[in-house]
Amino acid sequence: MRKALTAAGLALAIAACGNAPTTTPGQPTATGAAPTGGQSLQGVKIEVAAKWTGAEQQNFEKVLKAFSDKTGAQVTYASTGEDTGAYLGPRIQSGSPPDIAILPQPGLVQQYADQNALKPLSDAVIKQLDANYTDYWKELGSADGKVYGVLVKAAHKSLVWYRQPAFDEAGVQPPTNWDELLKTAQTIADSGTAPFSFCGASGWTLTDLFENVYLSTAGPEKYDQLSKHEIPWTDPSVTTALEKMAQIFTKKEFINGGTSGALQTDFPTCVTQVYGQKKAAMVIEADFVAVSAVESGAKVGEDAKTFPFPKVGDTTPVVLGGDIAVALKDTPGAMALLEFLASKEGGEIWAKLPGYLSPNRNVSPDNYPDPLTKQLGQTIISAGESVRYDMSDLAPSAFGGTDGKGEWKVLQDFLRNPADVKGAQEALESEAKKAWKE
């Protein structure tokens, strides 16, 4: 799924050892691995599955090398492509899964837990979680009361990227709330530039927009309830959020190419329209917009800048995406590596490399290599208990993660006809009932 671009996950590396390497004196066990203490894992081989390629893969391999240098373990990695289930499924069924898999959606934790494919985290890993993560992140990697996962990498989705020259030409400053955003958009439109470039052909971008508006207007508690379908999509809180979105969608001059143009524009083309073609002033999306902005010739921090998603209600929204590491084998190596990835030490090693945001509250933003990433890292930490995970990635994939279906399609239809708030809510509720099998 493209919505997990900077942190999506599944890849494989095949190790030549058995499931339970013989321990030596001082070597950690599966229930007490402690690589942060420097114990030896000499000769232990660990197989990691993740989807990262290119620079992301290279950076992760540097983190794995730091673990290997510290413990003596041999860790291998290879990319498996886009489809997590297509790769993991046969491996699990054949009884030869990798030691660790990194999942792009929290919903997969429950799915694989239901298949008895996951191993509960050791006490040592949970100790790191308790020390470094909020209860929310711990719960995100849990299923049926057992903790299985460590959120190892985050994507910051509560951002608006803007083109500085377009703001300068219109004489506007970055807004701090929703009303200011609408006023700023109108001023930019009056200057002759479309305020927004929407990636409507990529339905996940519309779910990201909804999630930010909803978290801000409804608050964290309602957000949690809706993400689990404990309240219906016909709830008045959803009405409020969709009505706010309609304030933009109904203003055709606000959208580059109008509604039809937006629905034919995918991600990252919408970014290119802002920074390469200079047809629009803003694009609402995550930190990974930087990749396409740079490819379009923009310089991050100069002509390509960000401001926090404007506060729409009482809550300042901070929505994250990310990747969760889970153990599919209960081996000393698997638990030791998960403990390392959950630790302050492991997080700081990764944070010094480009393209990474840590959900670990004890990883200081001072570790990040550039001012923008440092700012985003501080935002995650400052958000505290109100930060929430991407709602559509928490849902069954039939509702929140399938192109042309479920929430993606309904929100595309709403972009096409934003006057029909009630119809959109009824369609969302109908799709949710099917996905949750109610």
Domains in the chain: boundaries: 2-156+320-389, 159-317+395-435
Token pair 């990498």 is found at 153
Name the average pLDDT for the chain: 88
pLDDT tens, 100-139?
999 888 888 988 999 999 999 999 999 999 999 988 888 8
pLDDT at 198: 98
- The whole-number average pLDDT for the span 253-271 is 96
Q: Which CATH code of 3.40.640.10, 3.40.960.10, 3.40.50.2300, 3.40.190.10 fits the domain covering 2-156+320-389? A: 3.40.190.10
pLDDT at 83: 67
Q: Are 104 and 393 in contact (CB under 8 A)?
A: yes
**Rounded Cα–Cα distance for residues 52 and 351 (Å):** 16
Q: State the pLDDT at residue 24.
A: 30
Domains 2-156+320-389 and 159-317+395-435 are alike in CATH topology: yes
Contact between residue 274 and residue 165 where contact means Cβ atoms under 8 Å apart: no
Q: Please determine, for residue 327, whether its predicted confidence score (pLDDT) is greater than 50.
A: yes
CATH assignment, 159-317+395-435? 3.40.190.10
What digits encode the pLDDT tens for the residues 28-79?
Answer: 333 333 445 556 899 999 999 888 877 788 889 999 999 999 999 999 996 7
Check if the beta carbon of residue 317 is closer than 8 Å to that of residue 212.
yes
**pLDDT level of residue 396 (50, 70, 90 thresholds):** confident
pLDDT range class, residue 21, cuts 50, 70, 90: very low
pLDDT digit string, tens, across residues 349-377: 999 988 789 999 999 999 998 888 898 88
Which one, of 77, 59, 60, 70, lies nearest residue 15 by Cα?
77
**pTM for the complete prediction?**
0.77
Residue 381 has a pLDDT of 76
Taking the CA atoms of the chain, what radius of gyration do you get in angstroms? 22
Q: Where are the alpha helices (DSSP H) in 269-370?
A: 269-275, 289-295, 332-342, 344-351
Residue 322 region by backbone torsions, left for phi larger than 0, else alpha for psi between -120 and 50, else beta: left
Count of positions (residues) in the chain: 438
